[in-house]
C-alpha cells in the first residue's frame, strides 16, 4: 500500500493512548482544585480539532465548554477565559504566531493551561502548567483530555472500560480502516482529481474534521476548491446549488449527531448523482465495543481520508507538503 507504515501507525496510536499517564494525574489535581469552564484553543486545523472536541463534550456535559479561535481571541478578546478556566490546546510547531500570542494572553488572564506540543518549545512550555510533547494524534490527545474531565464529573462513568478497550483494539481498528478503504480511496481520488469544487458535509464530532478536511487538506495541501457545510445547515441554503453532477461527500459519524447526517444521506439521491458517503458505521472496528464507536468516528473517517490524500497526491502530482503562500510570504 502506497505510503503506509503499519507498525509505525500502531506505535503512534498506542503511544498516544499511553499519554493518559501524564494527562490524568494533572487533570485530576486541577479538577480537585475546581474549574469554572474549559476552553479549547486553536487556529485552522487545530481550531477544527477544538470544535470537534467541544461537540463531543457537549453531548455529555453540563459544564461550560467552548472553542476559541486564537486570531479572534488576540484581537477581540474573550473575558470568559480567566482564573478558573482550563485552557487546552495542541500545536505541531509551537510557532504559529496567533497561537503564541493567544497563549500569552490566556496565561496573563490566569487560565490554567494544558499544552500538547509536538515540538517542545521553551517559550510555550513556560506558559503552561503541563506540556506534553508527543507527535501527531492531535484529535486523540484532545479527546483523552475531554473524556477524563467527563469522567471526573461523573458524566462518563465507563471511562476506564472505554480506554481499556481502546488500548487493546483502537490501533488495529484504525489500521484496518486504512487497509480496507484503500481501493475505495484510490477510486475516489481518480474520480475526483479534477473537481473544480467539491462539497464536504458533516456534523457533530465530524464537523470539525469536515471543516478541516476541506480547508487544511484540499485547499491548503491539494490546492483544490471546496465548500464545507454542516449537515444541519445544509438544508438552509447550500442544498439549492447541488445538482446532478455536483461532487458532494458526506461524512457520517456514530455519535449523537448521526440523525443530522442521515437526513442528508436520504436527501442527496433525490437531487445528485455524484455524491459519496463515508460512514464510520461501515467499518467493523474489530474489538471496539459498540457503545464506544461514536467516540472515535472522526478517527475512522480520518483514516479513510488519509488514504484518499495519498492517492490524490500521487494522481495529481502535487506533493502535499508544498505551500505557495503559507509561511512563504509575509502577512
Please report, as ranges, the residues that interact with its own copies according to CB under 8 A. 37, 43-45, 47, 55, 58-59, 61-62, 64, 66, 69-72, 75-80, 82, 98, 196-197, 203-204, 215-216, 219-221, 223-227, 229-233, 235-241, 255-257, 259-260, 263, 266-267, 270-271, 323-326, 329, 331
Report the length, in residues, of the chain: 331
Show the cell assigned to 52: 470537534
Identify each DSSP E strand in 231-311 by its residue range: 248-252, 275-279
Q: Return the residue matching grid coordinates 493512548.
A: 17
Question: How many CA atoms, within 13 angstroms, populate the side-chain half-sphere of residue 78?
Answer: 24
Name the residue nearer to its own copies (CB basis): 257 or 276. 257
Shortest Å, Cβ 292 to its own copies:
17
> How many whole angstroms separate alpha carbon 93 and alpha carbon 158?
34
- The CB-of-270 to its own copies minimum distance in angstroms stands at 6
> Helix count (H) and strand count (E) of the chain?
12, 9
CB-wise, 158 or 216, nearer to its own copies? 216
Where does residue 271 rank: exposed (0-12), middle (13-18), buried (19+ CB within 10 A)?
A: middle
Lookup: cell for 218: 484540499
Contact 116, 90 (CB under 8 A): yes
For its own copies, which is the closer residue by CB, 108 or 197? 197
Please say which residue, 7 or 240, places its beta carbon nearer to its own copies: 240
Residue whose CB is less far from its own copies, 215 or 314: 215
* Maximum Cα–Cα distance across the chain: 57
Q: How far is the CB of 60 from its own copies (least distance, A)?
A: 8
Coil, strand or helix: which one is 126?
Answer: helix
Cell of 61: 456535559
Q: Nearer Cβ to its own copies, position 176 or 226?
A: 226
Shortest gap between Cβ of 107 and its own copies (angstroms)? 18
Task: Report how far residue 69's alpha carbon sits from residue 282's, in angstroms, rounded to the nearest whole number.
Answer: 33
Amino acid at each position: 500500500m502506497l505510503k503506509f507504515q503499519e507498525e509505525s501507525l500502531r506505535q503512534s496510536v498506542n503511544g498516544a493512548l499511553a499519554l493518559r499517564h501524564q494527562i490524568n494525574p494533572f487533570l485530576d489535581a486541577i479538577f480537585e482544585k475546581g474549574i469554572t469552564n474549559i476552553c479549547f484553543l486553536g487556529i485552522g486545523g487545530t481550531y477544527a480539532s477544538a470544535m470537534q472536541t467541544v461537540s463531543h463534550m457537549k453531548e455529555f456535559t453540563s459544564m461550560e465548554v467552548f472553542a476559541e479561535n486564537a486570531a479572534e481571541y488576540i484581537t477581540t478578546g474573550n473575558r470568559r477565559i480567566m482564573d478558573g478556566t482550563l485552557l487546552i490546546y495542541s500545536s505541531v510547531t509551537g510557532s504559529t504566531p496567533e497561537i503564541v500570542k493567544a497563549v500569552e494572553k490566556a496565561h496573563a488572564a490566569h487560565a490554567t493551561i494544558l499544552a500538547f506540543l509536538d515540538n517542545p518549545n521553551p517559550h510555550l512550555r513556560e506558559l503552561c502548567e503541563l506540556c506534553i510533547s508527543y507527535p501527531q494524534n492531535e484529535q486523540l490527545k484532545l479527546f483523552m483530555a475531554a473524556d477524563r474531565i467527563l469522567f471526573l464529573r461523573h458524566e462518563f462513568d465507563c471511562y476506564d472500560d472505554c480506554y481499556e478497550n481502546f488500548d487493546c483494539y483502537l490501533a488495529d481498528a484504525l489500521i484496518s480502516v486504512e487497509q480496507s478503504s484503500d481501493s475505495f480511496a484510490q477510486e475516489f481520488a481518480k474520480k475526483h482529481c479534477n473537481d473544480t469544487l467539491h462539497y464536504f458535509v458533516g456534523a457533530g464530532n465530524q464537523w470539525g474534521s469536515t471543516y478541516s478536511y476541506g480547508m487544511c487538506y484540499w485547499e491548503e495541501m491539494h490546492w483544490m476548491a471546496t465548500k464545507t457545510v454542516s449537515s444541519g445547515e445544509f438544508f438552509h441554503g447550500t442544498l439549492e446549488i447541488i445538482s446532478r453532477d455536483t461532487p458532494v461527500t458526506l461524512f457520517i459519524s456514530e455519535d449523537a449527531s448521526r440523525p443530522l447526517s442521515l437526513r442528508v444521506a436520504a436527501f442527496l439521491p433525490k437531487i445528485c448523482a455524484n455524491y459519496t458517503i463515508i460512514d464510520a458505521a461501515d467499518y467493523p472496528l474489530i474489538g471496539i465495543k459498540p457503545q464506544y464507536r461514536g467516540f472515535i468516528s472522526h478517527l475512522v473517517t480520518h483514516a479513510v481520508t488519509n488514504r484518499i490524500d495519498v492517492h490524490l497526491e500521487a494522481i495529481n502530482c502535487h506533493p502535499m507538503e508544498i505551500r505557495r503562500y503559507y509561511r512563504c510570504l509575509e502577512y
